[in-house]
Amino acid sequence: MLTLPEPSVAPLRGGPGLRWGVLGPGGIAHDWVSTLHRNTDQRVIAVASRSMERSRAFADRHAIPHAFEGHEALLASADVDVVYVAAPHAQHRPLALAAIAAGKHVLIEKPMALDAIEAEQIAAAARAAGVFAMEAMWTRYLPQSDLIARLLADGALGDVRTVTADLGWRWEFATGDPRFDPMVGGGVMLDAGVYPLWFAHSILGSIDGVHAIGSIAPTTAEVEAVISLRSATGASASLTASATATTPGLAAVYGTTGSVLFDSSFVFPARLSVISDGREHEWVDDSGLAGRDGLAWQAAALAAYVAEGRMQSPLHSLDDSIAVLRVLDEVRRQIRSQAE
Ligand SMILES: NC(=O)c1ccc[n+]([C@@H]2O[C@H](COP(=O)([O-])OP(=O)(O)OC[C@H]3O[C@@H](n4cnc5c(N)ncnc54)[C@H](OP(=O)(O)O)[C@@H]3O)[C@@H](O)[C@H]2O)c1
């Protein structure tokens, strides 16, 4: 009979600490710094905004000692070990390249870049500079993701045949809203859709078949996507992403002898059921970090990787980020071509 494995994740406290700098002090940066300072030994020591006023306000709110106007000023600071790129999608590549050129390790918000070509450029620059680089695919660093990886490694589900995942948040359409502007990466795929694609790729590995249908906004940004994938081993995935309806964000992994079924959104610290050889086991994240407080795990993991001398994440490598974006590029291409 299966005993659920204990997830193993980097300790939030007591491990190596880094001095972080934040570029783009907006919504996600606020949530990320809040949980870091409350729940980990990582310390944000610098923030940079395009405006001194916003930089100072963010620094005051989070007790950050150094506030800079302009990103270059932060990147010139010798006190910063690692930079968190938290600006909108279209700024990920230029800001990541600038941070790498300044010799900083870098954590880049998801999606790592606007497309696979941009992501390849970031990865090549990081390798050439010998700095650590990682996409902030934070869900991979939650305890539930380690649990699933262990179940798969132990063969507890048998041969994995099918993955399902959905994610949807309704956005009201407004002309001029960058979320609907394809020129800056607007559309549901780079926002929500990257999560179901990452989940399927993390379970199935290399993807060699992609079929997508969807719908687009008046700006041509895709707002709905229904995606079928086939893996190189012949397994499949069925995924949806929506900006027109809010969906529960559920996911599941089905194998020949067992399955994992999320009972709450798979992108956040979750509850799930594991069924193996006909028996059901309930599992719940009892770490005390709910919702976006779970962002703390990836920062602790990154600090541990840097201390180990790694240049990328062993759980979600730069090649993984690039591979997911390649599939995402194809999904967007297919949805747009149907609308022409
Ligand atoms: N991991 C997650 O759960 C999660 C959740 C939400 C978002 N995200 C990702 O995080 C990124 C940021 O999202 P957000 O919602 O925080 O964005 P946001 O609040 O719209 O923007 C973040 C900050 O970036 C700066 N910025 C805005 N436009 C810019 C531009 N054109 N050039 C340079 N800087 C600019 C702004 O700061 P200043 O003007 O003060 O410099 C802004 O406050 C996105 O890529 C998104 O996909 C991740």
As averages over each run of 10 residues, the pLDDT of the chain (340 residues) reads 92 96 98 98 98 98 98 98 98 98 98 98 98 98 98 96 98 94 97 98 98 96 98 98 98 98 98 94 97 98 98 98 98 92
pLDDT value for 292: 98
pLDDT value for 152: 97
pLDDT value for 170: 97
pLDDT value for 254: 98
- If phi > 0 it is left, if psi is from -120 to 50 it is alpha, else beta; for residue 56 that is alpha
In the chain, ranges of CATH 3.30.360.10 domains: 143-284+312-339
Which of 28, 55, 169 to probe ligand 1 with, by most ligand atoms within 8 A of CB?
28
127, with CB counted inside 10 A (0-12, 13-18, 19+), is middle
CATH of domain 19-137: 3.40.50.720
Strand partners, 260: 253, 274
255 alpha carbon to ligand 1 midpoint, in Å? 38
Strand partners, 275: 259, 280
192 alpha carbon to ligand 1 midpoint, in Å? 15
Nearest alpha-carbon partner for 138 in 7, 298, 314, 321: 298
pLDDT value for 114: 98
pLDDT value for 277: 84
pLDDT value for 340: 74
pLDDT value for 1: 78
Atom of ligand 1 nearest to the CA of 185: 45
114 alpha carbon to ligand 1 midpoint, in Å? 14
* Cβ proximity of 318 and 106 under 8 Å: no
CATH of domain 143-284+312-339: 3.30.360.10
d(CA 108, CA 208): 26
| H-state helical runs in 158-252 | 188, 194-204
pLDDT value for 339: 82
- pTM over 0.95, yes/no: yes
